[in-house]
Structure 1
């Protein structure tokens, strides 16, 4: 049965209290169809809470969450203290001001509403933050607007004069209502209101400061509960209810192996074989068989992977996570404190935190998590990154249960880091290779190596660096720093070979471009985009400079066919689900197998909406020249060998292995490798 949609409702462009009961005819129908609700409004007061709690309980029944921005009631002294104080003083000023409101709530609210509010906050289904105008503004935060989201991705925004209070229901008030599917003007208005809320929630709005609710106040609100029974059904789960998801046989083996190893271990699984799904299967089983409260930290290498993990948690019916890293949540430290506090005071028997490897290694993060009194688990995605000197700090001894995921857990040229990861996670407990997964679970693919030679002037410069390198290597007092710099400059000539651009043109002209990824580097990306555009290919760059929301939109547009191609640098290497990809052109590669194995994996995920039998990978292999003299033959042989390591990794499981090997045979002959 399809989820109820906003489109089922006949929503006028303007509603008013003279002809519409806002609660029964607007809020309840909208909230009962919503998965997320964002609201900015008036004051934190008993009448505000009464209306909010009643409405949000409807949302909770639907498995949704809400975010509320409101103005705290502050006298002038408290307001100035809030604006000027450091973190501890700021929380104290806010706490002092809000404590009287807590007393008011307890006296004024009906027990049913009081319990609803307390349980909603305890379950993390309603988040409160307080907005205070400052700098160029004075007075109060007095705006009133909101955005609803349904399961189909439809959005409705409203803006008007009404506060969420019983008194406001008696006034003549009105809302403008905007539906993003109605027309371009409405869609633009929805986007503006959404952007305004998100910027303010993140503390990015000039002249408005935003404060998280102090942990002490949160506990006092939760303590308003007078019953152990929720006044609604918690449909987004305490994490231990059964679900209909069934693991594949090999995923089931991986989970069993992890349990047999004392709930510790590494999953070494080929990209695209469902590492995330398998890990959450282990998590789900742990929660269903474990009677103890547990605090879970999911650590990801890049921030744009966090929403994918949150979506996967929802697929398993697991509790919605708290995002704890700066770009997504500037108040992450306060939210982490609140999560730890709720867990340790027994308000919650399950907390799930999603952080990044960098944030998880910070002392502020570690100090909160390391002293938790209760069971803890670390789930580390793309775990090979965590072997570095700084990031390994995030792998604390305090974690009771440990699960690491990677297609390539061994660190390239870092034996010590690799050994550390194996020790910390107590070994690799399950391995599933690309050959194991093709063709049942991953797409078959054809591999086309394309030989690219240097231009004459590039070759001349390359030879010059080679002479200097050889001379320095033969010097008994060689300067390692100078040598390293020369090697890097010579390698850059290979990476930036001009003939790659003409090769790109040849490839795109010889194929029907269909969901193409082009991997390039910083120096090439502008020219690559120009070439694709000149060839009539609709493309967009996908780099570290795009924000989380824009990246998600780009991936959706790419999957839907709005863009023929994405031009990516490193940020599409790890963990991003792009199952719609059918073709890839590798213009820039490192010799690190972690990178090129991940890039291949982006192309091999099966897309249920595609009828294409196999994927296509075009790989540019750069050589100085196909007619090397004795000097080049001697100096380049080892470099060519390393370049062909990638070729061997790719060709081994290709449908066209024989013809692909024939395509590079001349390199082997000329360079005697």
Structure 2
């Protein structure tokens, strides 16, 4: 293995002399821009993770920027790693509160530079054998770390390098002449502090409420997302639809949207129905601002108020749904009716009210239409989804308050992590309270005063924790479904006014409660539902001028359903285990300046949960199929799952053996028709081999033949050209071999055993498959449509798409090999002009293999690889690999994290042998015998994409 001097020399060669020079480390110079592969925040976090000491020099620091590093700094403190930060009071940018936050970092010494115009921006990380520093434009702010277009140079150096020596010397010189940060200094700064006229990120009252210089209300206009929604609602109404549903994440302005719609519709009379009077008054206030009109035109129908003559009537469902009240109204009295939080519409009071009135249009609004009972909200609204925007899209559009999510490890008691079997005494023990409070205080909140919600597992736990937190000096209260509406409103008001700091609750704040000032949410219960998780997280996502972000602190115990956390945060409903694993690591999971931070132990708990879950099993598939059927008002086709961002169709069919949607529907006791065994096997073949969309040729041909019975080869080639894919003879021949089963091994032929699909003549293709059964025909076309939609994810000309996943069988098919060589490819094998390399990065110790190979990435563009045994540098196959360029032998690389991911691996492009890197090695077999192998380094043509690199190596 080359020494550190050679690694550093190669990196400098690469960075300053020849960008083609191969390197085997991450030492090469980089420009960090916050683009796809060169991001500031992940790079800093990665350096922090491995350093033995760190220095940071930045003029500007925001609470939000600091929050993004807090988990990494906490874990460094646990390891005893110390650091230093120099900052300043330049331009009064740094708020007094951020200095309080800096004092919480027990392993970080902080000083204030008194240099005039101090504006330095640099990050230094010392390691055992080298140092890395990042210098450029990025202050320690959320925008600079994650969003802004930045220019930062990352350089690495040995201890005696002149540049790094100068950096450290300059840092120490400024450090020696800087002021120690202390409570006394902060108090003095706070007493004279005047905020500047700018901020890194100012969260203001929505622009729709801004007034002009004369304090006259400007005509409030919809934002861009509301304009899209209004058009879609108008388009729905133009079809003579009588009902429509708006699905919009909490905090995205559903009430404003409905008011704009009413302003456009101009009904003679409106009824707006809510389930709580508190929401009713706020809705009426918003309508007055947008719709306009006199006070007399707006009225309330709730409790003792019965202002039935009002043009715009705002009513609680409890009041309006009473039998004698309904009968007093003409069923056509209201031209337009709006129901807020319409997912509650399954209740008898809602059904009775909806059935009674006959408006020209009925609009329902909800953030969560999915229900756990048997009520189908979509059916109530005639399956008309007028508009939908979920959490991820709302965050990307800056419609919600940013958040910093911290997935932390819950308390370990007697070597056991808290779980759903933990006793009540452990849940409310002094040690757990210490644990929770320590983290809550460390991660803090945005704003001047704490306004927090704590979600507990039971009413008993909420009551007891509220009492114990009170004893610790916090102002708290507990609320549950057992408390009256008056008490709930009183407690909420106390939190908003700063008389309380925490409300402890179970589930009553999942929905329908609007407390925009909430700036910290603590989750002390297991995640049983991704819907409830988002509902609870959403309690803090409404924008408010008292906060820049909301802190979400989730204590992750040893729970079976931990896999729901990345599903909820990402919004990925594919139920694909590999995707969920990857998104648990992906730091860019949430767009904008929000961030996701998992402690390493908590991350491992999630991985274990994913591995052990049956998320892709029959039960999950049944739930997702039923849910989509409720939304569509009919039995879904496979293509419907794709069109509605639901579960991956491959997961749907994969839960049954043999894997066909026909068998899934039979299992679910849904509508099917009888088909023959041969037809079932044909569906199995199409679903397993073609539906993945990795090659379009078979799909395009079979669609044409099923619809028309015959197609000329000339017309087929024209269709391929129009599709933008290959038309060479080798690919066409490969397609034909797949469709007549000649490509497959004997065992696969026995499994599929379908009748001949096509007949190939000199100038045409003809369909031999009997598709007279319309159900069978439609099922085939459904699979084909899914496959064709999936082809858009792949390069249909090059056939192998960078960073996409492929199996050994896929490689053989897409590279036009005559046969499926899956059984002999194994880790690598020379076939034709290829030697594909299949690497499982994290080996399973339980696997019955002779040797656990030590393949590893030395950097994003260099892989250290070890051959099979027994091999030496004189072995024939090793010599061919070392001389592959001269022999015209291509080395495509496929890598997966572990065997738990199944058969597919990421295609990372072609690699080349790094001359001189091969060495004879002795590796230990499972029998503890030393056997011979060869190690060598491969240079990747393109460095591994950052998120995939993190996933593979983490």
Give the TM-score, by structure 1 length: 0.47
Higher Cα Rg, which structure = 2
Q: Which has the higher contact order (CA 8 A, sep 6+)?
A: 1
Higher-helix-fraction structure: 1
Give the TM-score, by structure 2 length: 0.34
